[in-house]
Amino acid sequence: MTVALEVRTDSWPIAGGFTIARGSRTHAHVVTVTLREGPDTGRGECVPYARYGESVEGVMADIEKMGPEIERGLTREALQQAMPAGAARNALDCAFWDLEAKRSGVPAFRAAGVDTPHDMLTAFTISLGTPDKMAADTAKAKDRPLLKVKLGGDGDPARIAAVRQAAPDARLIVDANEAWSADTFAENMAACVAAGVELIEQPLPSDSDSILATLERPIPVCADESLHTSADLERLAPLYDAVNIKLDKTGGVTEALVLLEKARAMDFKVMVGCMLGTSLAMAPATLPAQQADYVDLDAPLLLERDREPGLVFSGSMISPPVADLWG
């Protein structure tokens, strides 16, 4: 039976906006893929990211080019060679996983080797701003067990101190999004040590992170923009202590699971993170997140509204997705 491809774009408003070191956003622009085979439907969502040279229009065009191949019987396994890693392949890969689950009756978790999925604690993101603004935002979220603090370079010691004062009992991780430099690394690291931060994401630009091999790392440092697929791990091993697996970078669940297994074998700590999308983008990421040290899949909590049905959040705990959403 022929599999038909549908592609569309959707825009979801962000509650209060979202700011990181590279800029601010008011909406999450996503691309949604639907694969139809008879009565069965599989869906996937991706978030094109300009940092990696992606746009909504370009990603949609790359996906639509695969339509004839899909009609001729392209499989999820063959997709891994047919497209490069990135957002476009992610949406298709996740839609294939969902379609396979729907037509077989075997949940995606079981197909991935997880018999009984468990609830997961997600980090909750504090957007970049002035120390006073970040303290005010943190005060509203101070009862959440794990906060992820966006930093921006200059002024970060004051930001992290303000956040810690506003949430004295929360666990903290920080994400600099490549905004630190070799000159500011030591001062910013010391501020994080003083605040009891337990993980620092991507402090330096990916094209100059080799200097991490020479810097003191009293807090584990996690690769995000420097990591895309399992092929990157050998280079990163001397530089980083942890890796952030995102499906829009790996090109889907299939490679994410390969990356997870290899990272574990190399003794990396593992975070499973996300771009700013809906529950349809988060749901497939809950597969590798079952084995992660850190989970950062809070994007639906940052939107004004989400897909229905969406993931179920109880505070910062995420329940595995229902089949009507994905998998």
Contact status, residue 198 vs residue 241, Cβ threshold 8 Å: no
Query: Cα–Cα distance between 118 and 27 in angstroms, integer?
Result: 30
Please tell me which residue in 102, 140, 142, 246 is annotated as part of the active site. Answer: 246
Tell me whether residue 65 is one of the annotated catalytic residues: no
Contact status, residue 300 vs residue 310, Cβ threshold 8 Å: yes
Contact status, residue 15 vs residue 243, Cβ threshold 8 Å: no
Query: Cα–Cα distance between 80 and 63 in angstroms, integer?
Result: 13
**Burial of 327 (C-beta count, 10 Å sphere; 0-12/13-18/19+):** buried
Tell me whether residue 249 is one of the annotated catalytic residues: no
Residue with tokens 């690769």: 223
What does DSSP assign to residue 2? P
What does DSSP assign to residue 303? B
Please tell me which residue in 133, 142, 148, 150 is annotated as part of the active site. Answer: 150
Q: How far apart are the first and last CA of the chain?
A: 20
Q: Which helix (H) or strand (E) holds 59?
A: helix 56-64
Q: Which residues contact 56 (CB under 8 A, 6 or more apart)?
A: 9, 29, 31, 48
Residues assigned a catalytic role: 150, 246
